[in-house]
Homo-oligomer: A and B are copies of this chain.
Amino acid sequence: MSVIDKMETENESATVDRQFLERFLLGKWADIRLASRELAGRPEMQGIPGLTKDEHRARVLEQLKLLVQNGQVNLSFPVEFGGKADHGGNLAAFQELVVADPSMQIKSGVQWGLFAAAILHLGTKPHHELWLPSAITLETPGVYAMTETGHGSDVSSIATTATYDEETQDWVINTPFRGAWKDYLGNAALHGKAAVVFAQLITKGVNHGVHAFYVPLRDHDGNFFPGIGGEDDGLKGGLNGIDNGRLHFSNVRVPRTNLLNRYGDVAEDGTYTSPIASPGRRFFTMLGTLVQGRVSLDGAAVNASKLALQIAVTYGNERRQFGQAGQSETVLMDYQRHQRRLIPLIATTYAQAFSQEVLLEKFDSVFSGADDTDDNRQDLETLAAALKPLSTWHALNTLQEAREACGGQGFLAENRLTALRADMDIYVTFEGDNNVLLQLVAKRLLTDYSRKFKDADTGTLARLMMEQVTERAVTGSGLRRLGQNVHDRGSTARAVNELRDPEVQRDLLTDRVETIIAEIALDLRDAKKSGTEAEVFNQKQSQLIEAASAHGHLLQWEAFTDALSRIEDEGTKQVLTWVRDLFGLHTIEKNLSWYLIKGRLSAQRAEAVTAYVDRLITRLRTHAQDLVDSFGYGPEHLRAEIATGIEGIRQEEARHHYEKLAASGTAPVPEKH
């Protein structure tokens, strides 16, 4: 350690400006976030542990009405419907609701982010006028009936059909078998009065692919209309405030005009028309609104991680256990293991908070129309698909690590962590299963990669690809600067100094993405020749997911680095630079074997990575409380007994007791003395 210590040139006494940092983290939609947090801090908006499923569902429905009353739900809708058309602000506000009750958040997402948004984005003016107002006011609680028992992430294969009947000018919605039942739908079990049903549109004997239809579900008494049936999904691992359920349709008829016809329409005579000629592109355009859900979940997950860390670090800074004889017991946060388990999670949460902001701004630029190009939309979808998996998995890891770090306390409902984890669990597989999303990202990376070489003839292509795979370590500018080789015997201090260079971190992170993608591209190229492309693609599935994750980490690192450039306060900038370095190097550390095998890091440099990660963690230990307090949650959001300072009071009381006892002269003498 001493070598590293000597080499440091940074201001070791730097501290963060708490007030500045808290505001900085709130980002572009700071005021909207604060207003939403204020709402989320009200008891009537919050979950109550231990409610039965039915009580919880009823409570959440009432909370949705309060959201309407508070104008919370209008942000994304057009001005003519009383909205504010503030797309970024809408999601920022939505993301903050997770700290009140994820059930309430997700049920509101079903109502306004899916059901009403589908009417808005997939429907046209008559639909908006007819159905949007009652959807916005919750007069019509609605269902977004896309997923089927037999088809989750693979929406294009759903089996529900909507067949046009020219005679009656009706759509006939039908569920052909059990696997085609709509499933896991919020509002379906109980409250939904209407649904946007996704079905294969069939007219004149042709299947035009998946389209959306507005279908009334239940009458005023809550009974299904004829031909409609359903089931309650029952108790779940979490989110039990939402009435998820199943729906099926037996030749249910709705008028021709109930087709949400923005991207595809059928004339009275059954003729199909669409402004988008390619069925594939039409499908992805219609599904494009789903990106809103992914952007939302990314932000909600980051907020859940923040909450967990604020609770665990606060407790870890008060609770004492074990220690050396004759001294007061050691504060948990002073244990190296405790630091190692929590501080890198703080760094990752910061990186994700900054990348979430980048994602949200991109979302806003597309959905507001400010920069709604095909390219930007595709970039948005790729970015969301890369970040949502990483942040939702991170939230589960963080909640679990926080729970374990708090020991038995972490398991009590009064300390919040377990129920929050149970609720967040489904975030990793809904709105796009994480593994499926990452494969979409990888496919995009492969496409971009092959585009780069599109003008090269195949011989040149192969040579270029091969060079990328094998030679980047030597030719890459950042890595060459490392000047290392496998026999590297340079000083640890020099190695650490280089690892602190952001260009070196960027190069190491970039190299991993590009090399894995290049390797897969090379294999796929060979496989194409032999007609085994699908097989090879399946064999490379884990590597594709690795590459996409690495890409996501790079994006997070870039977002963090970019945020640093906007910080003027020197102390904050210094501390957050350490946090960024920790994020970057800890990410590299987790993939150290890759860097070693590929010759990107010598054994000696690899050890320097771990040594410097350890050093950064030790250094950030004193800043841990500031870093989590800057997330800005108050007691009304944390709602964890152990984060109220109560443990500090208990420790003080115990210390006082023993001091008084010692002073009294009546303290029992230990037997061994």
**One of A72-80, A228-236, A375-383, A495-503 at the interface:** A228-236
Q: Given B149, B337, B668, which contacts A205 in the complex, CB threshold below 8 Å?
A: B668
Known: A321-B151, A650-B179. A234 touches B657 (CB 8 A): no
A396, B407: Cβ atoms closer than 8 Å: no
A596 interfacial by beta-carbon distance below 8 Å: yes
- Could you list 18 A-B pairs, sorted by A, with CB under 8 Å? A50-B53, A149-B650, A178-B650, A178-B653, A179-B654, A183-B408, A234-B414, A236-B413, A237-B412, A237-B417, A400-B425, A404-B428, A410-B429, A422-B422, A486-B486, A592-B593, A592-B596, A593-B596
**Additional A-B contact list (17), CB under 8 Å, known A49-B235, A336-B540, A408-B429:** A50-B234, A150-B320, A153-B322, A178-B653, A183-B408, A200-B668, A205-B668, A205-B669, A208-B671, A234-B412, A236-B412, A236-B413, A237-B419, A324-B534, A335-B541, A336-B539, A597-B603
Q: How far is the CB of A391 from chain B (nearest CB, A)?
A: 15
A411, B425: Cβ atoms closer than 8 Å: yes
A430 closest partner in B (C-beta): B408
* Chain B residues whose C-beta falls within 8 Å of the C-beta of A235 in the assembled complex: 49-50, 412-414
Kindly supply a per-residue 1/0 record for chain A positions 128-164, scoring 1 wherever the CB is within 8 Å of any chain B CB and 0 otherwise.
0000000000000000000101111110010100010
Q: Given B237, B329, B400, B599, which contacts A411 in the complex, CB threshold below 8 Å?
A: B237
A84 interfacial by beta-carbon distance below 8 Å: no
Q: How far is the CB of A165 from chain B (nearest CB, A)?
A: 14
Q: How far is the CB of A324 from chain B (nearest CB, A)?
A: 5
Known: A408-B184, A596-B597, A597-B596. A650 touches B177 (CB 8 A): yes
B654, A159: Cβ atoms closer than 8 Å: yes
A533 closest partner in B (C-beta): B324
A180, B429: Cβ atoms closer than 8 Å: no
Indicate the member of A151, A414, A422 with the most B CB atoms within 10 Å. A422
**Whole-angstrom CA separation of A669 from B539 in the bound complex:** 33
* Chain B residues whose C-beta falls within 8 Å of the C-beta of A163 in the assembled complex: 668
4 A-B pairs with least C-beta separation: A237-B418, A235-B413, A592-B593, A207-B668
B52, A207: Cβ atoms closer than 8 Å: no
A268 interfacial by beta-carbon distance below 8 Å: no
A650, B150: Cβ atoms closer than 8 Å: yes
A625 interfacial by beta-carbon distance below 8 Å: no
B408, A329: Cβ atoms closer than 8 Å: no
A545 interfacial by beta-carbon distance below 8 Å: yes
Kindly supply a per-residue 1/0 record for chain A positions 153-191, scoring 1 wherever the CB is within 8 Å of any chain B CB and 0 otherwise.
110010100010000000000001111100110000000
* Chain B residues whose C-beta falls within 8 Å of the C-beta of A336 in the assembled complex: 538-542
**Whole-angstrom CA separation of A56 from B425 in the bound complex:** 24
Q: How far is the CB of A280 from chain B (nearest CB, A)?
A: 8
A337 closest partner in B (C-beta): B541
Q: How many copies does the complex hold?
A: 2
Indicate the member of A159, A209, A672 with the most B CB atoms within 10 Å. A672
A435 interfacial by beta-carbon distance below 8 Å: yes
* Chain B residues whose C-beta falls within 8 Å of the C-beta of A368 in the assembled complex: none
* Chain B residues whose C-beta falls within 8 Å of the C-beta of A422 in the assembled complex: 237, 418, 422
A279 interfacial by beta-carbon distance below 8 Å: yes
Which chain A residues numbered 585 to 642 have a C-beta less than 8 Å away from chain B?
Answer: 592-593, 596-599, 603, 606-607, 614
A337, B545: Cβ atoms closer than 8 Å: yes
**Whole-angstrom CA separation of A654 from B149 in the bound complex:** 12
* Chain B residues whose C-beta falls within 8 Å of the C-beta of A329 in the assembled complex: 154, 157
A275 interfacial by beta-carbon distance below 8 Å: no
Q: Given B430, B538, B597, B606, which contacts A606 in the complex, CB threshold below 8 Å?
A: B597
Which chain A residues numbered 214 to 260 have a C-beta less than 8 Å away from chain B?
Answer: 233-238
A23 interfacial by beta-carbon distance below 8 Å: no
A426 interfacial by beta-carbon distance below 8 Å: yes
Q: How far is the CB of A223 from chain B (nearest CB, A)?
A: 25
* Chain B residues whose C-beta falls within 8 Å of the C-beta of A650 in the assembled complex: 149-150, 177-179
**Whole-angstrom CA separation of A152 from B411 in the bound complex:** 13
B596, A412: Cβ atoms closer than 8 Å: no
* Chain B residues whose C-beta falls within 8 Å of the C-beta of A603 in the assembled complex: 596-599
Q: How far is the CB of A667 from chain B (nearest CB, A)?
A: 9
* Chain B residues whose C-beta falls within 8 Å of the C-beta of A149 in the assembled complex: 650
**Whole-angstrom CA separation of A433 from B425 in the bound complex:** 24
**Whole-angstrom CA separation of A538 from B338 in the bound complex:** 10
* Chain B residues whose C-beta falls within 8 Å of the C-beta of A408 in the assembled complex: 147, 152, 183-184, 426, 429-430
A124 interfacial by beta-carbon distance below 8 Å: no
* Chain B residues whose C-beta falls within 8 Å of the C-beta of A539 in the assembled complex: 336, 614
A202 interfacial by beta-carbon distance below 8 Å: yes
Q: How far is the CB of A449 from chain B (nearest CB, A)?
A: 21
**Whole-angstrom CA separation of A234 from B50 in the bound complex:** 9
Indicate the member of A154, A236, A403 with the most B CB atoms within 10 Å. A236
A670 interfacial by beta-carbon distance below 8 Å: yes
A419 closest partner in B (C-beta): B237
A663 interfacial by beta-carbon distance below 8 Å: no
A653 closest partner in B (C-beta): B177
* Chain B residues whose C-beta falls within 8 Å of the C-beta of A206 in the assembled complex: 668-671
Which chain A residues numbered 392 to 409 have a C-beta less than 8 Å away from chain B?
Answer: 396, 400, 403-404, 407-408
Kindly supply a per-residue 1/0 record for chain A positions 408-450, scoring 1 wherever the CB is within 8 Å of any chain B CB and 0 otherwise.
1011111001110110011011100111000000000000000
Q: How far is the CB of A620 from chain B (nearest CB, A)?
A: 15
**Whole-angstrom CA separation of A541 from B333 in the bound complex:** 13
**Whole-angstrom CA separation of A522 from B607 in the bound complex:** 18
* Chain B residues whose C-beta falls within 8 Å of the C-beta of A234 in the assembled complex: 49-50, 412-414
